Amino acid sequence: MTAETSQTLDRGVRVLKLLADSERGLTVTELAARLAVNRTVVYRLLATLEQHGLVRRDIGGRARVGLGVLRLAHRVHPLLREAALPALRSLAEDLGATAHLTLVDGNEALAVAVVEPSWTDFHVAYRTGLRHPLAESAAGRAILEARGFPSQRRPEQGFVITRAEEQSGASGAAAALVGLSGIEGSVGVVMLNGLVPERVGPRVVEAATEVADALR
């Protein structure tokens, strides 16, 4: 801690991070132990966070992240879109395919930014707000791969491909965003042709790196 920082705010942020990483929630005693503070401090932190809807406690007293966090996250999406658009636009124009930024939302993949190529006669329509289970597209599978799950790609490639699965007759390629704290996502493209050209995968990896750099 430095003179310019707030210890109370720091502890509150740490509480939110601890709760975000816990599927079952945490008790006051567990939080106190992890923060190395007494239970009274934790009670005060939780009460304040509850007032803002950022934390909720169940009947058993376990604290979990509250719905207020979702409202904050919703406000972040426009900022993410703005940061990602240059790389997505370049990717779409370069490959003549629809490019997208996809983030994890619970157990689903959520498209938060989409750019269609301007020069093609036909391309796949892919709308912002589209969501699907993580395992059902290249975008979601790339994210799972980054978590250590097996997929269709070899580890050295850095991308996942699908053929005729995401849309009728469409192919997809995606690469996970890496090196970002608190953000799980991927950058990908969907194309009408049935086969993914050799250069698509590496180009998607390049775009994912550009987006990750823009979000740091």
At residue 3, the pLDDT reads 62
What pLDDT does residue 156 have? 52
The Cα 18–Cα 38 span in angstroms is 16
Instruction: Please state whether beta strands 131-133 and 160-163 pair in parallel, antiparallel, or not at all (unpaired).
Output: unpaired
pTM above 0.85, yes or no: no
Residue 26 DSSP code: B
32-47 pLDDT, tens per residue?
999 999 999 999 999 9
CA distance 28 to 32: 6
Tell which wins on pLDDT, 157 or 190. 190
Confidence of residue 73 (pLDDT cuts 50, 70, 90): confident
**Mean pLDDT in the chain?**
88
